[in-house]
Structure 1
Amino acid sequence: LNTDIRGQLEDLKKRTADLRKEVGELNGEVRSKVGYLEKEMETSSQPMRRHQADLGARVDKLQMDVQALMGRFEEGKYFAEKNFQETKVLRESHQTKLEDLDKRIGDMKKSLEAAERKPEVPGKEKEAEKESTPEKPSVETPSKPEVAKVPPAKIPEKPVTTAALSPDDAYKKAYDLYNKGSIPEAREEFKRFLEANPKSKFSENAHFWLGECYFSEKKYDEAILEFDEVIKKFPKGNKVPDALYRQGMAFLEMKDTMNAKLIFKEVVKRYPKSDQATRARKKLQELP
């Protein structure tokens, strides 16, 4: 019996040793496979981490771009609102001037119609012409501004601004720009001159040439309003016949034949012996 028990114990020990060996081998295999899997995961996760890092950088850049766009949008919105208000004020001012001009054109039409119906009184025509004919306006020697003769000198590094010039020199600067064909620059200089010198001896001419600048830029409505400033502010000035005639030409450019004809008739009526009246008569003959 003892022999059998010993045999069984030996057999059990052997089997236990075999099991331990198998378990050890299995543990080795498991550790090897776990190591392999960890290595594979590490290898496969590196591109993912790089992708995540790249994606994060792109998101940050997009956020910065959005913030910059929002800043530009707010800035654009501010200037758009500012320009809208300025344009609204300017439009209202122009509307008021246009309404006043329409009223005066209406009065002019009534006056011309009344004159056409009224029989002429002998002996009065020459007297009326004498009273209504001013001195013939010159082409443009605007009261000959006194310009100091400056000897040749080095050109200054900084251009002299209009604000630093005398009224005579400021007007001459604007007029010279107009003659050179620098119309936008001349327009701005005439505007600055009138803002700084509204009652200068050159104001009448400045308004007229500002109107000519607008005319050259095909801004005919603004030209009409500026010529009207000459007519209203300087009713006895030398530039009035020119301004009135140029108003007619501006209306003609705008295809407003009816008002153009009214203006030309007014030129002939008020200044019958002037060069402007001669040109106005020619235009009236050409128009239907």
Structure 2
Amino acid sequence: MVRYDINKLQMQNIELKNEINSLHEKTKGVAKEDSFNVVRASQAELQSTLNNLSKDIQNLSGRFDESKFYTENTLKNMTTEIDIIKLQITSLEGQIKDIKTKLDTMENQIQQQKEKAKEQKKEEIDLSKKEETSGEDASYGAKAKYDAAYATFESKKYREARDQFEYFTREFPNNDLTANAYFWIAETYYREKDYENAILAYETLLKKYPENKKIPNALYKQALCFIEIGENKVGRVLLEQVIDRYPQSTESKLAQKKLDDLNKKPSKKK
């Protein structure tokens, strides 16, 4: 629009110049002074109009330059905003990729857990069939199965022994030897140095059978497991519980000795 106004004024300016030139031609043959004055007046008026048009052109040119500057500046700002949006999109794409990777990892872990559970179930079924077809008769009861599991443990076949003891706890949940079976399950993890699972297994015994004779040993071993994984503070607390609750037990003396050993060296984890 501004460009159109400028062109229009320029055309008017050209027309005025043409009129002035025409007046000059007409005044060449005029001799009378009054006619000349009239022409001069007309020329002055036209010149004034021309000057005004020139000013209008300058104003419009200024507006055009201002509009051009604003447009260029706006385009520059838009370009900057577009670059920022591109960076944000790139960042979001990276985040989406990370999330997808984590989801894939989780799916793999879930699949592995399913396969592990399936394998354990199969082992339980195989173990059950093995015991059913082993020629045992009605007189071969809970004690015989417990003794068989313990013999496997003594042979250092800890995984197989654990399966047998777990089967025993399910088959004979109210038997007098069931608490012992839970203890030996925890012991299989401890012997394999799987201290975290051992802690959980000992805790099962502590909660289910708090008055069982193996509780002092279970509490002491649980303390050792915490120390093995760097949780010395928790381990110390459990050792002190062994000493306070079972002062006459063998585990109480072992707990005191372990505390003395810990006090001789700085704790790794407070």
TM-score class normalised by the smaller sequence:
0.3 to 0.5
TM-score by length of 1: 0.45
- Bigger Cα Rg: 2
Higher helix residue share:
2
The TM-score, its normalising length taken from structure 2, stands at 0.48
